[in-house]
Amino acid sequence: MGFQIRVTTLIPVIALMLWALVSLTFSRDSKHAILAPLLTFAIVFVLLFGGCKTLINTHVPEDLRSSNFPVTHWLMMGLQGDGGYSAVDEDYTYSFPTKEEKSAANREEIRLRLGALADSGASGILKFVTDKITVTWASEHDGLYLETGRMQGYSPLQKYFFGAKNDLMLYYYQFYKVLLYILALIALLGELLRRKCSTTWLYGLTMLGFFAFYILWEANCRYTICLTLILTVLGFHGINTLLCLVSSASGSTDNGLSLGTVKRFCAAFLLVGILLPCIYAMVRQYPTYTQTFVPKTDYSIITVGREYHENAVTGIAAEHKTLTQTFTTAHSFNEIGIYCAYDDTEEWSDAFPDEHIYQFRLLDADGNVLASENFGAEDSRKYYKRFGFDLVTPNGNSTYTIEISARYPERRADRLKFVYFDFDTYDYIAHADLSVNGESLHRDLIFLVADNYSGPYTTVNRYRAECALILLYLCGISAILLLDSRRQTCYNK
């Protein structure tokens, strides 16, 4: 029933149908062994589809179903820039009231963008597709930072996993991801050489479907998270293929290689084909990683989620409300971001001057004003309105207050509403609270607290330690293979 939420869940269904068709046509196995699970899947699929459809029609309001984003929105977004998320495109689709109008506007924009892409020629199309593939499949974190926004608090280890000192974790994850890709490719090549239609092809067809789909869809590294299990299964098949290859080489033959020879060859390849290029890359990239300064961000609090327009504080300027959000942190910070949305409950046009009708203030526990800024609605819908100020360094766990109020004494039409999470089951952010005119809502704004600074990607000592670990790992594997090849040779004698 997931395709009611994400269309990509249909891809495994299509892959299963293709695999079943090929298996029924060419496989020597019993047809009942294939038809039985296929029929079971079809029955379960129909039941879940009908049940999900009934739940949606019963519990989702008609106005929400008739005004949500059409599929064409993500196809349109996938045709701009590198194919990634675009707030401009989201604003464009959002500006049309009904789903039909949104879809018609998206289709017209898709037509224009396809024409521009065709005019760029073969090289332009190739670069565009390559950029989209890179955004979707080459990320080392798969949107990890957004998912950590669902945590109530951070442990002291946070910075080594999600913060400015997470380079070791990213190295490991990128290595693991590339290894899975290589093993998956080995598994599929092995099946191709064996000319056997096993379940490995079912996983391979699923991956191929996702790969082709994300060339058309919006590019986003988070979309590949759901494929981790499939990649892992293919990875195990790849390992099994390699083990079978090595096993077939065991024992001396007149026309083949001994297992000891294969191991010595692998050790030589590791030393010459991988170790030497790694040493060259480490020396060459040393200045880049240890001397080039890059922007860095350490989050004390970051909340993420999709906003619902009814879950928002409105009337700040029109009704002279004062919004306050408290939070507690022991980490230094110099930026606060608040998730805003256009307030479309008031009648106003773009021609009306966008004045800075709101005031942001940051207060400490004693009521001292640490930062203040006036702001309006410019570029503020559906994104974090960010306020920068001098670095604030708490003395242990300290409580601070974000205050949003009207700047002018006279009432004015509101431009913004301030979105919050509405969970009745638990407090979203520990030791934090949202209030309006002093009355607690027992909710929390969608906001972030961060420390932005510049620094090298990693320190000299960390870079040396990382390089030493990589070299030790490669040398260790090579030594094990060489020693084991000698032991195997002596054993055979």
Residue 78 lies in a domain: no
Residue 199 lies in a domain: yes
Q: Are residues 283 and 382 in the same domain?
A: no
Answer yes or no: is pLDDT of 493 > 50: no
Answer yes or no: is pLDDT of 333 > 90: yes
Q: Are residues 313 and 446 in the same domain?
A: yes
Q: Are residues 287 and 305 in the same domain?
A: no
Answer yes or no: is pLDDT of 431 > 60: yes
Q: Are residues 303 and 451 in the same domain?
A: yes
Q: Are residues 204 and 151 in the same domain?
A: yes
Question: In the chain, how many domains are there?
Answer: 3
Residue 243 lies in a domain: yes
Q: How confident is the model over 104-141, as pLDDT tens digits?
A: 999 999 999 999 888 888 888 898 888 888 888 876 66
pLDDT: is 189 or 152 the higher one?
189
Q: How confident is the model over 240-256, as pLDDT tens digits?
A: 887 777 666 555 444 45
Q: Are residues 244 and 189 in the same domain?
A: yes
Q: How confident is the model over 96-111, as pLDDT tens digits?
A: 878 888 889 999 999 9
Q: How confident is the model over 63-90, as pLDDT tens digits?
A: 555 557 788 888 899 888 888 888 778 8
Q: Are residues 397 and 276 in the same domain?
A: no
Residue 163 lies in a domain: no
Residue 161 lies in a domain: no
Residue 21 lies in a domain: no
Q: Are residues 312 and 332 in the same domain?
A: yes
Q: How many residues does the chain have?
A: 493
Residue 432 lies in a domain: yes
pLDDT: is 377 or 353 the higher one?
377
Residue 415 lies in a domain: yes
The pLDDT, as a whole number, for residue 388 is: 93
Range 437-450 average pLDDT: 87
Q: What is the CATH number of the domain that holds 399?
A: 2.60.120
Answer yes or no: is pLDDT of 204 > 60: yes
Query: Which range scores top for mean pLDDT: 16-25, 338-347, 449-458?
Result: 449-458
Q: Are residues 306 and 415 in the same domain?
A: yes
Name 418's bridge partners. 313, 340
Structural domain boundaries enclosing 238: 136-156+174-248
Q: Are residues 423 and 309 in the same domain?
A: yes
The pLDDT, as a whole number, for residue 401 is: 96
Q: Are residues 438 and 312 in the same domain?
A: yes
Q: Are residues 179 and 266 in the same domain?
A: no
The pLDDT, as a whole number, for residue 489 is: 44
